[in-house]
């Protein structure tokens, strides 16, 4: 009896287990209920998190929304400016410099301005030029005005070495980057100035350059050897005069006469006659434009024509040719640029200048234009209008401008082309180096009486 009961119990237990294993699993949602409405069935891929873990309005967690970059408000313009002699003894130089600055600003602004990363946009340049009437004291005052009133980001220099000597210390005091041309004074670069940069030839380049030209371009049997120096009593005049003297002998030349004079001298006859009586074949000087014109006129009146006449600075001005006529021909000078140079952008400058002035661009237009090119590139590289950052970017310049390749030495002097220019048949012609020349140089100079 117990055995039967045991078998019956086991049988019931097995059947119960089999019945349970075949029944559907328990669920809290009846089989006929709609799917949860929090997330539509097609909104979540098979591998997505359960519907209840993602809010109905949430974006997929694998693609977060990206916020648009924000920038601080940009200034309406980048203020730049300089004190430039538009009148007075350096007026013919300053007008060229201002024109070069303006052309470059116009071209940059026509392209939208200068890209400044901090503001995420291009910003136009605003140029302010104040005439200092060739007065160094007034120039220094103008520089302070540009800093306090215009709050310039950078200074652009004027024209002539003594004018720069007055303005560069102001830029250094105010810690504003300064780009200047139309001055060869090297001494100022040796005073430890941090903010001064000049993509322009300096006295050592000029002093060695003239002797290199004479020894390279002329056959030995035609080469002059005796040199007279007419030194202006100014900082730059003394500097360049002494360098002309120091480099003469190493290149095989002899200084046979060294004369000095004060700027504004009216009668140069005595120093001209001394240079003539010394037997000089080469005359080297550095007068301002009015003094240079007087020297040439008085040489012609005295009947003396040196074989080679170089007068730095004076022949830069376009007034040289119209004032002197044929007497102004055959004079050499180092202006820093000439409109026949074969660099990008020169043709467009000449085209605009021809339209405005009925002649190709004057010699200081190109270097002035290059200053603005360099400044704009430095601002873009710095990505900010912080003056120190821009200063550092200028120092690292390595680019091709309308005056050719430009880099800077640690003292702010530029490593640039040193073109030799000569007045030939009433025009300023580039005569050296040969691969850039627009005309053949004239040597020896045609006698004044035969012009």
Please check the confidence at residue 445 and state whether its pLDDT lies above 90: yes
What pTM value is reported for the model?
A: 0.81
pLDDT at 170 over 90: yes
410 and 436 both lie in a single domain: no
Q: Report d(CA 283, CA 286) in Å as an integer.
A: 10
Q: How many domains does the chain have?
A: 2
Average pLDDT score over the chain: 89
Residue 195 lies in a domain: yes
Task: Confirm whether 433 is domain-assigned.
Answer: yes
Three-state secondary structure call for residue 64: coil
> 421 and 334 in contact (C-beta within 8 Å)?
yes
Q: Are residues 195 and 239 in the same domain?
A: no
CATH of the domain at 214: 3.40.50.2300
Range of the domain at 134: 78-201+342-415
Domain co-membership, 168 together with 304: no
277 and 403 part of one domain: no
Q: Using one digit for the tens of pLDDT, what is the confidence trace for 378-431? A: 999 999 999 999 999 999 999 999 999 999 999 999 999 999 999 999 999 999
pLDDT > 90 in the chain, percent:
84
Which of helix, strand or coil describes residue 120? coil
Co-location of 185 and 128 in the same domain? yes
Residues 160 and 227 in one domain: no
Supply the pLDDT for residue 64.
60
Pairing type for strands 154-156 and 178-179 reads parallel
Condensed to tens digits (0 to 9), the pLDDT of residues 39-69 reads 333 333 333 334 444 444 444 555 566 777 8
Evaluate whether residue 152 is within a structural domain.
yes
Model confidence pLDDT, tens digit, residues 122-164: 999 999 999 999 999 999 999 999 999 999 999 999 999 999 9
Contact partners, residue 166, CB within 8 Å, separation at least 6: 136, 137, 139, 140
pLDDT tens for 354-370 read 999 999 999 999 999 99
- Distance between CA 412 and CA 187 in Å, rounded? 12
- Could you give the maximum distance between any two Cα atoms of the chain, in Å? 162
Mean pLDDT of 239-260: 98
Residues 448 and 278: their CA atoms lie apart, in Å, by 19
Same domain assignment for residues 261 and 284? yes
Task: Tell me: do 197 and 209 sit in the same domain.
Answer: no
pLDDT of 23 above 80: no
Structure confidence at residue 66 (pLDDT):
73
Are residues 95 and 356 in contact, defined by beta-carbon separation less than 8 angstroms?
no
């Amino acid at each position: 009896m117990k055995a039967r009961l045991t078998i019956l119990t086991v049988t019931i237990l097995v059947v119960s287990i089999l019945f349970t294993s075949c029944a559907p699993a328990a669920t809290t949602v009846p089989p006929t209920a709609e799917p949860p409405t929090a997330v539509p069935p097609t909104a979540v891929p098979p591998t997505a998190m359960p519907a209840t873990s993602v809010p109905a309005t949430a974006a997929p967690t694998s693609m977060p929304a990206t916020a648009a970059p924000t920038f601080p408000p940009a200034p309406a313009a980048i203020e730049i400016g300089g004190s430039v002699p538009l009148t007075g003894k350096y007026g013919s130089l300053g007008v060229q410099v201002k024109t070069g600055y303006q052309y470059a600003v116009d071209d940059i602004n026509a392209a939208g301005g200068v890209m400044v990363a901090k503001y995420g946009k291009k910003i136009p340049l605003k140029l302010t030029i104040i005439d200092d009437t060739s007065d160094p004291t007034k120039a220094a005052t103008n520089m302070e005005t540009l800093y306090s009133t215009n709050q310039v980001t950078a200074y652009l220099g004027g024209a002539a070495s003594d004018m720069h000597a007055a303005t560069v210390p102001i830029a250094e005091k105010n810690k504003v980057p300064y780009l200047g041309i139309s001055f060869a004074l090297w001494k100022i670069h040796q005073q430890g100035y941090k903010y001064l940069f000049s993509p322009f030839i300096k006295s050592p380049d000029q002093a060695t350059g003239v002797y290199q030209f004479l020894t390279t371009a002329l056959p030995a049997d035609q080469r002059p050897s005796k040199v007279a120096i007419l030194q202006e009593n100014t900082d730059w005049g003394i500097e360049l005069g002494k360098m002309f003297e120091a480099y003469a002998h190493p290149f095989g030349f002899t200084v046979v006469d060294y004369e000095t004079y004060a700027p504004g001298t009216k009668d140069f006859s005595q120093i001209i006659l001394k240079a003539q009586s010394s037997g000089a074949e080469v005359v080297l000087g550095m007068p301002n434009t009015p003094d240079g014109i007087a020297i040439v006129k008085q040489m012609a009146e005295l009947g003396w024509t040196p074989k080679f006449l170089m007068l730095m600075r004076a022949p830069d001005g376009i007034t040289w040719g119209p004032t002197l006529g044929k007497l102004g021909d055959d004079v050499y000078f180092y202006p820093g640029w000439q409109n026949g140079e074969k660099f990008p952008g020169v043709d467009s400058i000449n085209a605009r200048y021809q339209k405005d002035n009925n002649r190709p661009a004057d010699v200081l237009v190109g270097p002035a234009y290059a200053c603005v090119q360099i400044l704009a590139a430095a601002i873009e590289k710095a990505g900010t209008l912080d003056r120190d950052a821009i200063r550092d970017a200028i120092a690292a310049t390595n680019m091709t401008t309308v005056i050719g390749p430009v880099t800077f030495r640690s003292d702010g002097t530029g490593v640039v082309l040193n073109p030799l220019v000569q007045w030939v048949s009433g025009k300023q012609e580039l005569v050296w180096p040969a691969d850039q020349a627009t005309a053949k140089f004239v040597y020896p100079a045609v006698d004044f009486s035969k012009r």
